[in-house]
Amino acid sequence: MRLILLSVIVAYSVKYNLTKNFTRCDLVKELRYQGFPEEQLRTWVCLVEAESSRRSDVIGGPDDDGSYDFGLFQINDRYWCSTGVNPGKGCNVLCKDLLTDNITKASLCAMKIYKQQGFSAWLGWKNECYSQTLPNLRKCNV
CB of 3 to ligand NAG, least distance (A): 19
Among 10, 19, 90, 92, binds ligand NAG (CB under 6 A): 19
Inter-residue contact 53 to 135 (CB < 8 Å): no
The kind and range of the H/E element at 69 are: strand 69-70
21 near ligand NAG, rule: CB under 6 A = yes
What are the CA-CA distances from residue 1 to residues 61, 86, 114, 124 (Å)?
15, 18, 31, 28
CB of 97 to ligand NAG, least distance (A): 7
Inter-residue contact 38 to 4 (CB < 8 Å): no
Question: Could you say which DSSP state residue 53 is in?
Answer: T
Q: Which stretch binds ligand NAG (CB under 6 A): 2-10, 15-23, 81-89, 127-135?
A: 15-23
51 assigned to active site: yes
| Catalytic residue (one of 51, 57, 77, 97) | 51
- From CA 39, how far away is CA 60, in angstroms rounded? 28
Question: Could you say which DSSP state residue 52 is in?
Answer: H
By CB under 6 A, the residues from 50 to 69 that bind ligand NAG are 55
- For helices 24-33 and 41-52, the axis angle rounded to 10 degrees is 120
Among 20, 51, 61, 71, binds ligand NAG (CB under 6 A): 20
Q: 88-107 mask for ligand NAG (x: CB under 6 A)? A: --------------x-xx--
**Using CB under 6 A as the criterion, which residues of the chain lie in contact with ligand NAG when the complex forms?**
19-21, 55, 102, 104-105
